[in-house]
Structure formats: structure tokens, C-alpha cells
Amino acid sequence: MDDKINKIRHSLAHVMAAAVQEIYPDVKFGIGPVIENGFFYDFDFPSQEGNKTQLAADILPEAEKRMRSIIKNNLPIEQVFLDIDKAEKDAKIQGQIYKAELLEEIRKGERPSAESDTEKTKDGKISFYKIGNFIDLCKGPHVKNTKDLPADGFKLTRLAGAYWKGDSSKPQMQRIYGVAFSSKKELESYLELQKEVEKRDHRKLGAELDLFVFSDLVGSGLPLWTPKGTLLRDALDNFVWELRKKHGYERVDIPHITKKDLYEKSGHWEKFKDELFKITTREGHLFTMKPMNCPHHAQIYARKTFSYRELPQRYASTTKVYRDEQTGELAGLSRVRAITQDDAHVFCRYPQVKEEILKIWEIVKEFYEAASFKLEIRLSLHDPKHMEKYLGNEQTWEKAENQLREITKEKKAKAVESVGEAAFYGPKIDFMAKDSIGREWQVATIQLDMNLPERFDLTCVNEKGEKERIVMIHAAIMGSIERYLSILIEHYAGAFPVWLAPVQAIVVPISDKSTSYGQSVYERLVKENLRVEIDSRSESVGKKIREAEMQKIPYILIVGEKEQKAKSVAVRQRGKGDTGLVKIEKFVEKIAKEIKEKKSS
């Protein structure tokens, strides 16, 4: 993030806290970090008659007004260092229980410096920042004066609930979000984009197009897919499989639960045990719903001894995994608890790595071209300063990362290197896609793993008859089908291309007299394996067309006496309107060509 805008957003979080304190002098402060496009601050408001004060949205314009007043006062934003013991004592006296808790953790060394809101100096003092009468525990950075803040470049956007430290067992606080930019023009551009984002919201469109539903009885983060939504999922998954099949992948299948022993062996248990759904059986074994598939695929490979001549082994399965995400972090299909992964793993010798990754790269390229996504490359690397976060040793990581650098160089791809973003078992090539309104998403990923084969003792017999350690390549094209569909629905605003649309065409008889002919057209198209519907209701043709257009169906085929005599259909194409009378055979040829070529619009 740009250092200047980072300082602006961080400073505005403090100014917002100061403004809120003017409105509610007894407010208790949580934390107020910078986030993408802005900032937030968590507050615990004083109780009124035994009940916690629940903010209404009208606090936002009031807080904004006071923020601008503070900014206009041209107040210095000063860093001061205070004795940590005294600061903790004062925080308790003032009722700032959350700040006191942070100070205690810092004093005891229980709060990692990378996550801390502050930092100690050598003489035991602690960093605070002061704006007028407001002072806050913070390590910075900030702008030097409130006059350096754009008074018309920020906006408070919404309220939300948030547990202290993200822990549902701790008190629930109230969070105020804001966005901030260097100028009014940038802010206005962002707000206009947000209007478009709201129109395209996949949760709204998912309901309107009848693609998926959530049920309180089933549980948060567990989407249920309707027939149309399932057609979408299957179309995407079948496309991935077509591409993989050409490169020698074989389908496998694995169970949805496993003993914890598997994940202890792989190293996943230690790292993710608090995020897993755990199950205890009658026999006392601890099982878990699987949160990933790689250890299972490794056990399929380990079932027998492979000769080097039999490698690579390429296994693929589209299957659900389950992660115990916090309720407050769930977001439509973007973040769910039941995740469908189009997962594949290649087991090969090290000299085969480049060829296999290049094959996967071609699959990724062809898949995302069908959605008109332009891809950029990010190399997600380990952080050598924190090797405790990763399996294996520095030498193994350097070898794997250099291999990925060599591959990106051969592909003549400009790769941004991102330190600390690797999986805990290996570095990644992450493919970044920009959607139709300019937002960037991480989509496909290829991961080079030289550590899990070591932990599971995966080998082949080489030319000398000796055991040789193999490597493992993890490859997810969509990653999570749910998350990818959330991106895709918003990318297309629900108007899917013909090859992907759940309903590719709808037959609309003009009147009851035309229903019989309409049915024959419908049956003909079904025989051509098209996803087609017929609207035979006794409604006006205008109403039928309007409803079909609201469902964003690519082709509306209107049939009446004239069309029946000509053995034709009157075609209305999405985005183009009426395109004229077309013989049924010609229409079938046209739509079949579009589907085969997977045109993106």
C-alpha cells in the first residue's frame, strides 16, 4: 500500500475515534487499523439503563461532521512515549479495559510485535499518538498535522458488529467503517464504483436468478444450490475436467472425514486445528471434516510402489472441504464453510516439474480466456525471517522458488513477488484476474511442494533401482467453485455467456394456438442437448418476454402461426433485441457454434 495514503487512512481512524468520543465521552476503544480502501475502528459504547447502546446509522453523518471540524483545527498529530506500567494503570482507571488488556499483553511479551498496535522503546516506554485532547495507543505511522488530511476525501460507510479480537467468546463491539482517498475526485470515483458493485452483488443476483439459497435450519455459510445453480457449477467443473483430461489426469474420489492422524502427519493439524470441524466417534477416535484434499491424494499415491516410468501420476477430484469460519466473516458465496474445490495433484520427479507446471498453466490460460479474464502473475514466497511458519528448510524453499521463477521467466510473464504469501508447505504461482469493473481477484493457483512428500515418505523407484524422493504439485483452477461463482456472477452481472448460461434459450408461444408448435421446437432443441425452457402460460407475450429478459436468458425464441408456416423462430438476442426470422436448423448451428467456441459474450 502507498505509504502516503496509508498514513492518511491510519490518521483518519484516530480522528474518527476522537470524534466519536466527543459524542460519547465514556466510549471504550478497541482497535482501529487501516484496511483496503479505508479504515475501521471498534467501539464499546456505554450502557443505558442496563442495556448496551446500539448505534444507529445517523451517527455516521454526525461523526463525519465532527471529524471535519477536527481536521480544520490544524491540530498536530504527535507521537509521545509513556511509561508502560503507568499507561496500563491509567487505562484501567479510565475504564479503557481493551487498551489495558493490550498493554498488559505487550508488557508480558504475549503480543507479537508484528501484530501489535504499538511498540516499546528500550527504556520501557510505549508509543502513543495524540490529537488535541485525544490520545491513543499506536505505533503509527501518521501524517504530521490534521491539515494534511483531505477533509472531502473520506466518508464513513457503515456499522457492523465485531467480537473483540475476532473471538466469539469475547464481548461484541460495534465497528464503524470508513473509506478514504487522497482527493474528492478519487473518493467520488470509488463511490460510483460501489454503486455498480451493489447492482452486481452476487447475493442479490443469486436470488433473482434462482441460483442458490441459504437456510437458517442448515446453517450459515452452507449454500444450497438450485437446479439452475447446479447447472452452472457443473458447466464450469466439466470444462475444467475437459482441459485436464487432455493432459492425462485421472479422477479419484476421497471421503469427507478423516482421523486427525492424517493431518498430524501432514502438518496441517498443528497449523489449522482451531479452524477444523471435529467429530468424536463412539470408539473415541477424533475425526475431522476434511479442510483440504492433498493428504488424501498423497495416500492414494502411497498405496503402491511406482516405477519412474509410471510418473507423473495426476489425480483430480472435485469435492467439498469444510472450514469452521467465524460467522461474522462469512459473505455470501465469497466466504463459506462448505467449499467445493476442483483439486488436482501431480506426483512426479523433480526434472518433470517444469513440464507439468507449464501444462497446468495452459489449462489455466484456456479456462480464463473463456471468461475474458486477463491474468497477471504473483509469485507467493515464504518469509525467510519467519521459517517457524513453514515446513522444511531454507535450502528446499530456495530450490522450489527458483524453479517457479525460471518457469515464469520462460513464459515471459511479469511476476510480482509477494514475500510471506506462500502456503506453509510450498511456494505458489497465483493467477490474478481483473473483472469487468476493474477489481482484482486471486483465482487459480499452482503450488510446488517438496515438503509433504518428505513427511509422507513418497518415492518412486528410479533407473538404478533405488528409491527416489518425488515432489508434489498442487493445482486448483477455480480453487473454490463457490468463490469463483461469486466473482463470475458479478463479472457478468448475471448475464452469462451462452455456453455457461443455466438456460440458453426459452421458447415463447404467442398464443395458446402456437403452444403445440412451440413444444415441438422445444423438444428439437432438447435433442440437441441445449438447456432450454418453454413458457406456455396463458400470459401476454410481452410479459413473457420481459420476465425472460429479467432472467438474462441469452435467446428468446418467439413462435406463432407465421413462424410455424416457415418452420422458423423469431429470435430475440440478449443485448441486441430482435434479430429476425431464422430457420430452426440455422439457429441450432449458430448456438452450437457459440457453445463450442465458448464465446465470452
Q: Give CA–CA dist 556/506, Å, rounded.
A: 5
Q: Give CA–CA dist 286/484, Å, rounded.
A: 32
Answer yes or no: 593 catalytic.
Answer: no
* CATH of the domain spanning 3-199: 3.30.980.10
How would you classify residue 358: left for phi > 0, otherwise alpha for psi between -120 and 50, otherwise beta?
Answer: alpha
Q: Give CA–CA dist 316/537, Å, rounded.
A: 44
Grid-cell match 435450519, residue found: 217
Torsion of CA 318, 321, 327, 331, to 10 degrees: -20
Residue 320 in grid coordinates: 467439498
For residue range 557-599, what is the model confidence (pLDDT) as tens digits? 999 999 999 999 999 999 999 999 999 999 999 999 999 998 7
* pLDDT at residue 49 in the model: 56
How would you classify residue 552: left for phi > 0, otherwise alpha for psi between -120 and 50, otherwise beta?
Answer: left
Determine the 3-state secondary structure of 343 from DSSP.
strand
Which amino acid appears at position 11 of this protein?
S
Answer yes or no: 386 catalytic.
Answer: no
Q: Give CA–CA dist 317/474, Å, rounded.
A: 12
Are residues 453 and 311 in contact, defined by beta-carbon separation less than 8 angstroms?
no
**Residue-wise DSSP of 290-335:** -S-SHHHHHHHHTTSPPBGGGPPEEEEEEEEEE----GGG-BTTTB
For the chain, first and last CA: distance in Å? 34
Residue 392 DSSP label? S
Residue 348 in grid coordinates: 512426479
* pLDDT at residue 265 in the model: 85
* pLDDT at residue 113 in the model: 42
Residue tagged active-site, from 155, 345, 572, 574: 345
Neighbours of 128 (CB within 10 A): 19
Residue tagged active-site, from 96, 313, 341, 504: 341
Answer yes or no: 343 catalytic.
Answer: yes
**Which overall architecture, per CATH, does domain 207-253+296-492 show?**
2-Layer Sandwich (3.30)
Which residue(s) pair with 322 in the sheet?
A: 338
Residue tagged active-site, from 9, 99, 290, 323: 323
Which amino acid appears at position 340 of this protein?
T
* pLDDT at residue 116 in the model: 44
**Residue-wise DSSP of 394-415:** HHHHHHHHHHHHHHHHHTT--E
In 357-501 the beta strands, taken as DSSP E runs, fall at: 374-381, 415-419, 428-434, 440-449, 459-461, 467-469, 471-480
- Give the start-to-end residue ranges of the domains of the chain: 3-199, 207-253+296-492, 505-597
Per DSSP bridges, beta strands 51-52 and 47-48 are antiparallel
Determine the 3-state secondary structure of 552 from DSSP.
coil
Q: Is 349 exposed, middle or buried (0-12, 13-18, 19+ CB in 10 A)?
A: middle
* pLDDT at residue 2 in the model: 64
Neighbours of 580 (CB within 10 A): 9
Are residues 199 and 192 in contact, defined by beta-carbon separation less than 8 angstroms?
no
Nearest by Cα to 532 from 556, 568, 562, 549: 556
Answer yes or no: 341 catalytic.
Answer: yes
Residue tagged active-site, from 10, 200, 296, 474: 474
Nearest by Cα to 534 from 550, 517, 542, 546: 517
Backbone angles phi, psi at 528, to 5 degrees: -85, 10
Q: Is the peptide bond before 291 cis (omega within 30 degrees of 0)?
A: no
Residue tagged active-site, from 296, 428, 544, 574: 428
Q: Give every CB contact of residue 385 below 8 A, 6+ residues apart in sequence.
A: none
* pLDDT at residue 115 in the model: 39
In 30-185 the beta strands, taken as DSSP E runs, fall at: 34-35, 38-44, 47-48, 51-52, 77-83, 125-131, 134-137, 154-163, 172-180
Q: Which residues of the chain have pLDDT under 70?
A: 1-2, 47-57, 111-122, 282, 601
* pLDDT at residue 54 in the model: 64
Answer yes or no: 474 catalytic.
Answer: yes
CATH class for the region spanning 505-597 = alpha beta
Residue tagged active-site, from 14, 44, 294, 551: 294
Neighbours of 26 (CB within 10 A): 12
Neighbours of 506 (CB within 10 A): 24
Residue tagged active-site, from 343, 430, 449, 535: 343
